A and B are shown apart, each in its own frame.
Chain A
Amino acid sequence: MSKFPFAGEALKSLFKAPLTEKYPLTPKESPEKYRGKIKFDANACIGCGLCIRVCSPNAITKLVDTVEEGQNITMKFDLGSCTFCGYCADFCHQNAIELTQEYSMVVTDKNDMIVSGSFIKKLPQKKPVPQKKATESK
């Protein structure tokens, strides 16, 4: 046996299952706290724009449209230029951004990588301006 030092290991390995993962046949879950595809909750967002400031590849854009009730704000997360650092989720104090465990992002068109959500931000109602009565003082 001393002439073949790994013979025992080789014999044991003969009866072991292969190490290879059968990935496309059996689905695999990503590890806990894996930072994958971004999930954006538009109803929780208040449009403070802190995520835009901390995003190093400028992947987040904010579009503001003025509508009757206030402002229609659309947040766009371009996962095609995301580094998945998770800063946007860390800095969001409304917890509107979540990095899910979904890792498979295969697209043929780049625009499919954009995650977006829009909500309406109501502007504060304008108080009626008190009119100065210049004639009263006299």
Chain B
Amino acid sequence: MFNRLIEKSRAKSPWIYHVNSGSCNGCDIELVALLGPRYDCERLGIKLAGSPRHADIVVVTGPITSQSKDRVLRVLSQVPEPKVVVSLGSCPMSCNVFKGSYSVEGPLDKWTHVDVSVGGCAPKPEAIIDGLIKAIEILKEKRGLNNV
């Protein structure tokens, strides 16, 4: 029963970790706007974690550059299961205008399973909120807490 309480509370406060893999900073600014007072996503329980080991949801921005590919994969492997990978903007989905570049290593789903993709360049903060709500639902499903 005590474990169930912990599981419930965990589902209500998914912490996110933000990985920038060579993004232009557009999506990063929109994500940071969520943590400020105006869009305040802490009312959904979402909080930015400082370490990937504390996170439940990983938010990836940017096309995966060759310099950042190994680091992104290392960060993703450090996140405890069950985790949800959210790709933000057009870049991780398809490399956007950088596709075909010698220093870009393909879209994100070439390397890992992406659960939720948020479109836009850059997406509006409201769209990111929608994506994170979807990610929370998927996280609950992965934890087996669908009826909570």
Residues of A whose CB lies within 8 Å of any CB of B are 19-21, 23-24, 28, 30, 36, 56-58, 78-84, 103-108, 110, 113
| Nearest CB on B from A5, distance (A) | 22
Specify which of A30, A58, A113 is in contact with B119 (CB 8 Å cutoff): A113
| Nearest CB on A from B120, distance (A) | 6
Contacting pair B39 A23 (CB below 8 A): yes
List of B residues within 8 angstroms of A84 by Cβ: 120-121
Contacting pair B119 A21 (CB below 8 A): no
- How many B residues face the partner with a CB closer than 8 A? 33
Interface set, chain B 115-146, CB cutoff 8 A to A: 115-121, 123-127, 129-131, 133-134, 138
List of B residues within 8 angstroms of A113 by Cβ: 93, 117, 119
List of A residues within 8 angstroms of B120 by Cβ: 36, 84, 103, 105
Contacting pair B90 A104 (CB below 8 A): no
| Nearest CB on A from B139, distance (A) | 13
B10-18, B45-53, B94-102 - interface stretch? B94-102
- B44: nearest residue on chain A (CB-CB)? A24
Would you call B70 an interface residue if the criterion is a C-beta within 8 Å of the partner chain's C-beta atoms? no
A-B contact pairs, 9 of them (CB 8 A): A19-B37, A20-B37, A20-B38, A23-B39, A36-B120, A80-B94, A103-B123, A103-B124, A106-B117
Q: In the bound complex, what is the Cα–Cα distance between A130 and B130 (angstroms)?
A: 66
List of B residues within 8 angstroms of A21 by Cβ: 38-39
Contacting pair B117 A107 (CB below 8 A): yes
Q: A58-B99, A81-B90, A110-B93 are in contact. Are A103 and B126 (CB under 8 A)?
A: yes
List of B residues within 8 angstroms of A82 by Cβ: 90, 119, 121
Specify which of A36, A58, A108 is in contact with B134 (CB 8 Å cutoff): A108
- B115: nearest residue on chain A (CB-CB)? A108
List of A residues within 8 angstroms of B134 by Cβ: 106, 108
List of A residues within 8 angstroms of B97 by Cβ: 56-57, 83
Q: A23-B39, A57-B90, A81-B95 are in contact. Are A30 and B124 (CB under 8 A)?
A: yes
List of A residues within 8 angstroms of B127 by Cβ: 103-106
Q: In the bound complex, what is the Cα–Cα distance between A12 and B18 (angstroms)?
A: 36
Contacting pair B38 A19 (CB below 8 A): yes
Would you call B4 an interface residue if the criterion is a C-beta within 8 Å of the partner chain's C-beta atoms? no
Q: In the bound complex, what is the Cα–Cα distance between A28 and B118 (angstroms)?
A: 17
Given contacts A78-B94, A82-B119, A104-B127, 10 further A-B contacts (CB under 8 A): A20-B38, A20-B43, A36-B120, A57-B94, A80-B93, A80-B117, A81-B93, A81-B99, A103-B127, A107-B117
- A22: nearest residue on chain B (CB-CB)? B43
